[in-house]
A = this chain, B = another copy of it.
């Protein structure tokens, strides 16, 4: 495996990076929901924690029945078992990143994992 991989992501409905970047500790997707649309299903996870970043737009995340407003700059952690569904607002696309990682998998990080 090389020391790095790089891709340039276009403004598509969904781009999945796991295979493109040869990731081994995460799956990352970049997503765009058109105005007035939603992910067509509710889902949860067996093992994976998800981290969402709202890159642009507004919308709602329904998490275990709770409606959570979303706007640019918001970041969320969602526990594996939580039932979630994302909705764009009626007038603007919702662009977001979804990071899947195995819950509890991180040991050290930043200064406790770095070699400077």
Contacts and interface: CB of A to CB of B under 8 A. Distances in A.
Interface residues of A, number: 66
Copies of this subunit: 2
A82 interface: yes
Nearest to A61: B4
B28 A75 contact: yes
A114 B86 CA distance: 15
A113 B48 contact: yes
Contacts of A28: 51, 53, 75, 99
Interface in A1-19: 1-10, 16-18
Contact of A2 (B45, B51, B79): B79
A64 B2 CA distance: 11
Given A3-B82, A6-B74, A8-B71, A99 B99 contact: yes
A9 B70 CA distance: 12
